[in-house]
Amino acid sequence: MRMLSLVLALGMVVPTKSRARSRTDGTPPPHHPPPSRQPRRQAARTGILSVPPSRSPGGRHVVEVDGGAIYLDGRRVHPLTGSVHVIEAPSWRADGDAVAWIERVSGETRLVILPQLSAGAEPLAWPLPRALGKERLHWAGERRVVVGPAPLEPRAVASWTES
């Protein structure tokens, strides 16, 4: 009788597995991060690079094309929303302080240049004929980019001034 009452008393004090719901392997439950409050401002990186990452001549900067967006040193620089198809891989100016590429968006072929690598710099864009999508980029000075098979065989030239 005493043994029976002791077993009943232990059964009331010690919870059963079905009621305790403890993990038997001792690992904590999976952690789920809280949802983002501003998902439209976050850059959604896919990890699928359409062209290999390109390091600047001095090695200070890296430009990547990931999921139709251009990233400079890990921050999205172009386009602010949506995506583009980069036709010609980014080309660095000799000093490594500017980068240019050829892209296609909504059927339009464009030459895009990021003349300054600072956080607030806006890219400059020029429309190109669709046939120039297969040409190469060549820097011909600090503020001049040549589109063509060679620097001395231009099909298009873009130049700009700083304002």
Full DSSP string of 92-144: E-TTSS-EEEEEEETTEEEEEEE---STTPPPEEEEE-GGGGG-EEEE-STTE
Question: Is 13 inside any structural domain?
Answer: no
Question: Is 36 inside any structural domain?
Answer: no
Report pTM: 0.68
Question: Is 33 inside any structural domain?
Answer: no
Domain total for the chain? 1
Retrieve residue 46's tokens: 């896919």
Residue 138 pLDDT class (50, 70, 90 cuts)? very high
Q: Are strands 75-78 and 85-92 parallel, antiparallel or unpaired?
A: unpaired
Distance CA 102, CA 89 (A): 7
Question: Is 28 inside any structural domain?
Answer: no
Question: Is 26 inside any structural domain?
Answer: no
CA 123 to chain centre: 16
Question: Is 29 inside any structural domain?
Answer: no
Question: Is 139 inside any structural domain?
Answer: no
Question: Is 85 inside any structural domain?
Answer: yes
pLDDT digits (tens, 9 = 90+) for 105-127: 988 999 999 998 887 788 999 99
Amino acid letter for position 126? W
Domain holding 73, by residue range, is: 44-132
Higher pLDDT, 2 or 123: 123
